[in-house]
């Protein structure tokens, strides 16, 4: 299963939406979680529609539109979205109304927008796109499920697919996730920092003029032991007929917190240049969507951006990037991305 990346865009806590100035300026977040650095949406989305959209919808629609423009695709052959928590802003809003009004007369607006597939549904509605429309919400594999479905669509003969991952944070979600020890709430915590954003892609079945990178292969697995990681990586490289020396950059989802899995990966790939992406995206159920986006942009621009290289040396050219991420040690991901031959 292979898919060509012919367009991609991402909104993250850093400046990633404007590809001309990609990660040039670094935003220092003084808050305990990383909120998205959002573009001027009015230039991208019809202001009449914009008013009713929650942030996760705005971030997703803007990223999706931009990816489609890059790929010169007007109506995608499928719309597939991964989101770990879905539309939490509207979910919270409606829950609060239920409680405040003691189940009295309620406005349905927040409820209507609260379902997980509001993002994919809104995109279909705005584009008048009648095609396959799926939403996955599967913890740290929400985006991976979506990506697997996208590649399956291409295998089934669909020309191009819009696929993305998105999650938003509210102060209450942040507080709750901190309380359940999923993320840090203060700087002393040895836990990951929560972030939010959206990353969308147009994947095409065949390489075209717009294609700049390819997803060669991807695998998602659960609950491995630290000792299993080496075997999983070797097996993955083997099935792609590659050795670790063929990888120009390893992009990992570590974030400065002690972690046996990333240590094992770092040890296995110690001869390779290793880069990180969660200092940009923060941690979330769909952080890996951004990891895939960053790998694609690096391959496109043949550039390793500031604040990403962790160890080793960038050799000057990028043909293949191996992405490795895990969420809470449970949901693991390996993806091989390559530069398109020109």
Distance from C-alpha of 209 to C-alpha of 111, rounded to nearest angstrom: 42
Distance from C-alpha of 241 to C-alpha of 231, rounded to nearest angstrom: 15
Listing DSSP states for 295-309 in one string gives HHHHHHHT---TTTE
- Across 159-258, where does the E strand assignment appear? 160-167, 197-204, 213-222, 249-252
Among 13, 84, 195, 291, binds another protein (CB under 8 A): 84
Strands 79-82 and 3-11: unpaired
Among 152, 191, 257, 310, binds another protein (CB under 8 A): 152
Q: Smaller CB distance to another protein: residue 83 or 279?
A: 83
DSSP 50: H
Q: Is residue 23 at the binding interface for another protein, with CB under 8 A as the rule?
A: no
Q: How far is the CB of 158 from another protein (least distance, A)?
A: 12
Q: Is residue 86 at the binding interface for another protein, with CB under 8 A as the rule?
A: yes
Q: Smaller CB distance to another protein: residue 215 or 220?
A: 220
Q: How far is the CB of 128 from another protein (least distance, A)?
A: 5
Find where tokens 């159920």 sit.
285
Q: How far is the CB of 171 from another protein (least distance, A)?
A: 12
3-state SS track over 75-137 = CCCCEEEECCCCCHHHHHHHHHHHHHCCCCCCCCHHHHCCCCCHHHHHHHHHHCCCCCEEEEC
Q: Is residue 128 at the binding interface for another protein, with CB under 8 A as the rule?
A: yes
Range 173-192, binding another protein (CB under 8 A): 176-177, 179-182
Residue pair 126/58 in contact by the 8 Å Cβ criterion: no
Q: Is residue 268 at the binding interface for another protein, with CB under 8 A as the rule?
A: no
Terminal-residue alpha carbon distance, the chain: 21
Q: How far is the CB of 98 from another protein (least distance, A)?
A: 5
Site string (94-113) toward another protein, x via CB under 8 A: xxx-xx--xx-xxxx--xxx
Find where tokens 């007369």 sit.
105
Phi, psi of 277 (to 5 degrees): -130, -10
Residue pair 300/67 in contact by the 8 Å Cβ criterion: no
Distance from C-alpha of 192 to C-alpha of 107, rounded to nearest angstrom: 37
Q: How far is the CB of 25 from another protein (least distance, A)?
A: 34
Q: Which one of the spans 116-124, 196-204, 306-314, 332-340 is the region binding another protein (CB under 8 A)?
A: 116-124
Among 35, 137, 286, 335, binds another protein (CB under 8 A): 137
Residue pair 166/197 in contact by the 8 Å Cβ criterion: yes
Site string (51-80) toward another protein, x via CB under 8 A: ----------------------------x-
Q: How far is the CB of 53 from another protein (least distance, A)?
A: 11
Q: Is residue 125 at the binding interface for another protein, with CB under 8 A as the rule?
A: yes
Site string (192-231) toward another protein, x via CB under 8 A: ----------------------------x-xx--------
For the chain, state the CA radius of gyration. 19
Q: Smaller CB distance to another protein: residue 183 or 249?
A: 183
Q: Is residue 124 at the binding interface for another protein, with CB under 8 A as the rule?
A: yes
Q: Which residues make up the interface to another protein (CB under 8 A)?
A: 79, 84-86, 91-92, 94-96, 98-99, 102-103, 105-108, 111-118, 120-122, 124-125, 127-139, 141-142, 145, 148-149, 152, 155-156, 172, 176-177, 179-182, 220, 222-223, 285, 330
């Amino acid at each position: 299963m292979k898919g060509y990346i012919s367009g991609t865009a991402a909104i993250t806590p850093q400046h990633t939406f404007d590809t001309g100035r990609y990660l040039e300026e670094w935003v220092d977040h003084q808050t305990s979680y990383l909120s998205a650095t959002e573009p001027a949406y009015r230039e991208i989305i019809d202001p009449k529609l914009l008013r009713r959209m929650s942030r996760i919808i705005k971030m997703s629609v803007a990223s999706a539109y931009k990816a489609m423009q890059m790929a010169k695709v007007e109506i995608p052959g499928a719309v597939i979205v991964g989101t770990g928590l879905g539309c939490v802003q509207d979910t919270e809003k409606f829950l609060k109304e239920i409680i405040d009004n003691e189940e009295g007369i309620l406005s349905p607006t927040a409820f209507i927008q609260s379902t997980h597939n509001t993002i994919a549904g809104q995109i279909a509605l705005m584009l008048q796109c009648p095609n396959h429309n799926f939403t996955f919400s599967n913890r740290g594999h929400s985006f991976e499920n979506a990506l697997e479905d996208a590649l399956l669509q291409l295998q089934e003969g669909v020309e191009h697919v819009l696929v993305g991952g998105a999650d938003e944070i509210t102060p209450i979600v942040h507080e709750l996730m901190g309380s359940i020890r999923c993320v840090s709430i203060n700087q002393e915590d040895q836990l990951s920092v929560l972030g939010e954003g959206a990353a969308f892609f147009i994947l095409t079945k065949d390489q075209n003029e717009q294609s700049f990178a390819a997803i060669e292969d991807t695998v998602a697995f659960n609950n491995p032991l630290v000792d299993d990681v080496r075997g999983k990586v070797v097996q993955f490289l083997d099935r792609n007929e590659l050795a670790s020396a063929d990888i120009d950059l390893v992009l990992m989802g570590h974030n400065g917190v002690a972690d046996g899995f990333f240590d094992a990966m770092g040890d296995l790939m110690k001869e390779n240049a290793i880069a990180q992406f969660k200092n940009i995206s923060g941690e979330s159920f769909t952080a890996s969507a951004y990891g895939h986006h960053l790998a694609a942009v690096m391959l496109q621009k043949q550039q390793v951006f500031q604040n990403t290289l962790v160890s080793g040396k960038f050799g000057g050219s990028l043909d293949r990037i191996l992405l490795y991420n895990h969420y809470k040690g449970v949901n693991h991901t390996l993806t091989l991305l390559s530069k398109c031959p020109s």
